[in-house]
Structure 1
Amino acid sequence: MTTAASSSPAPGATLSPLILACLAATWLVWGSTYLAIKFALVSFPPFFQMGTRFLAAGGLLLAWMRWRGAPLPSRRQWGHALVVGTLMLGGGMGGTAYAELTVGSGLVVAFIAVVPLMIALVNLGFGVRPRTLEAAGIAVGLAGVLMLTQGRGFQASPAGLAAITIACVTWSVGSVLSQRSLPLAPGAMGFASEMLCGGAVLMALSWLTAETPRWPPTPQAAAAWLYLVVAGSLIAFNAYMVLLARAPAGLASSYTFVNPVIAMLLGVAIGGETVTGYEWGAVSVVLAGVVLLMCRPRAR
């Protein structure tokens, strides 16, 4: 998951090799991280797994930015990072990993596809009113999520459904707050501070819930955790930032449509998960709502 951000791409932006590589990273890497979370759960409990992941990634990113001469965040910016990190990583990613204890990774990311719709709803509190197509997208997407909750995967796990619902709500609220009232430090330093604060909150949750990692971890779980740190938190995130700067906003946000399909296909093909025809139909309705939400009227 990531925030929805807007930017002004450079004029004449084209599908250069760099843009294509960044698209592949956001589509394939982010789409595969949900299955990696499931594999890592064999040895690393959900809050411990996410906490150590973001502490490692945040520490590496902060060290790299300091090496490049970037200043540390101010005390106020650290405070913002704590609130945003608690919501987006503590609640958002912690809830996602917890849901995957009992729900297939493909269905979890299919539910997460509703996040852009939730962000639009949260923005109502800041006076940002959706246009007609956006309102239609919210209605269609939420209807699709309601259908998805009636499928076999979520009906079998009320705890998983509650966890992923909380995850999507806290991620959406944190996303809007970071854009509207709690800005982070500029650039990658802001995201490093968010990962460090969120990772610390997740480790506190791990301690409060008395999680016990399996040690030594299985090779598959260790490889999945490393993949989440390097590919999921560092490579794919930086690729997304490049897309925001150099590609049209719609293209940068295309992962929203692609990730659920990638995650569900990987879950079925590699993870041995089962997705019913009804659940595929529900996902199609959710994605149709996201497409409507992302549509922009052509300028006159």
Structure 2
Amino acid sequence: MSSRAAPNASTAPQAAPTLPRGPALSPLIVACLAATWLIWGSTYLAIKYALVSFPPFFQMGTRFLAAGVLLLAWMRWRGTPMPTRLQWRNALVIGTLMLGGGMGGTAVAETTVGSGLVVAFIAVLPLMIALVNLAFGVKPRALEAAGIAVGLVGVLMLTQGQGFQASPGGLLAICIACLAWSVGSVLSQRSLPLAPGAMGFASEMLCGGAVLMALSWATHEVPQWPPEPVAVGAWLYLVVAGSLIAFNAYMVLLAKASAGLASSYAFVNPVIAMLLGVLIAGEQVSGFEWAAVCVVLAGVVLLMWKRPATAH
């Protein structure tokens, strides 16, 4: 799913494949990968805890409005100009898709569907993004396609190792969430640019948060008051880590890395979620499930793997 052209083929025999070096794995890219892999892997548990007191759309809407206001204030203090009218329009479209549909749908799904299924289902994101990218004439490289396939097999293995039940409504919510996030991801790269840098992220969170609050009002959500302390702590974690840090890291990956690498979190997050279940909730993990983890990680390696250009 790379948006970059493949390196020219050499007439000489190719060197053995190696992991990308230099700019492909710069310190910034590594930090952004760590944020999307580790933080987003833990946010599903935080969403579940926040749902104790905060309904799904209200939880997500207040989360992104708070993060958007903080980020906008910081950027204005640094002298960054406000987005143009066109950039605000783009932020509304992207925010509606990625935050309103993507994150709102995820929170709705977690009210009735086991978190393991929610995380595992998100593995279809790279496939959806690849299909949307095809409409723009972008085809995945062979190794990226192989990584997607292997990673998806691993996540499917994870789901087979868990005994969970899901409601039809919850499955529909996560399907809509994945589709909306995929379309928003591609449009943000291809045709609906946001304001440069963090100001664009702030405008997207503000617009998406407003849409989520409208959905909360339309569905007559009522938060618990006073909220449970665990719900407040989880909400704060979602604002600071999940929104201000990890979400911005993902947008940087979309701008500076291949689509395959940017979406690799979809394979790693189930692993993180499973480990958190073991360490925090005391869940038991079978040998089959650990084997599935190895398959997932193999898919991530394939996503990151590329042949270096060779000298003529």
Answer with 1 or 2: which has the greater Rg: 2
Unaligned stretches of 5+ in structure 1?
Answer: none
Q: Is the 8 A contact 1:106 1:267 kept in 2?
A: no
- Provide the rounded CA distance (Å) in 2 between the counterparts of 1:130 and 1:75: 34
**Is residue 151 of structure 2 the alignment partner of residue 128 of structure 1?**
no
- Provide the rounded CA distance (Å) in 1 between the counterparts of 2:24 and 2:214: 47
- Provide the rounded CA distance (Å) in 2 between the counterparts of 1:116 and 1:11: 23
Q: Is the 8 A contact 1:139 1:289 kept in 2?
A: yes
Q: Is the 8 A contact 2:260 2:303 kept in 1?
A: no
| 1:40 aligned partner, one-letter code | A
RMSD: 3.6
Q: What's the offset of the Cα at 1:267?
A: 3.1
Stretch of structure 1 that moved more, 231-240 or 56-65: 231-240
Stretch of structure 1 that moved more, 261-270 or 60-69: 261-270
Q: What's the offset of the Cα at 1:197?
A: 0.6
| 1:72 aligned partner, one-letter code | M
Q: Is the 8 A contact 1:103 1:157 kept in 2?
A: yes
1:47-62 equivalences in 2 (<5 Å): 47-62=57-72
**Is residue 99 of structure 2 the alignment partner of residue 89 of structure 1?**
yes
Deviations 1:101-136 (A, max 9, x none): 122334322322332232122100100122333333
- Provide the rounded CA distance (Å) in 1 between the counterparts of 2:266 and 2:275: 15
- Provide the rounded CA distance (Å) in 1 between the counterparts of 2:90 and 2:253: 25
- Provide the rounded CA distance (Å) in 2 between the counterparts of 1:133 and 1:80: 32
Q: Is the 8 A contact 1:133 1:292 kept in 2?
A: yes
Aligned identity (percent) is 81
| CA distance 1:116–1:59, shift in 2 (3 Å) | same
**What is the total number of aligned residue pairs between the two structures?**
294
**Is residue 291 of structure 2 the alignment partner of residue 265 of structure 1?**
no
Q: What's the offset of the Cα at 1:147?
A: 6.0
TM-score normalised to structure 2 length: 0.78
| CA distance 1:51–1:71, shift in 2 (3 Å) | same
- Provide the rounded CA distance (Å) in 2 between the counterparts of 1:246 and 1:181: 16
Indicate the residue corresponding to 1:42 in structure 2: 52
Unaligned stretches of 5+ in structure 2?
Answer: 5-19
Residue number among 74, 93, 98 corresponding to 1:64 in the alignment: 74
Stretch of structure 1 that moved more, 286-295 or 126-135: 286-295
Q: Is the 8 A contact 2:102 2:177 kept in 1?
A: yes
Indicate the residue corresponding to 1:195 in structure 2: 205
TM-score normalised to structure 1 length: 0.81
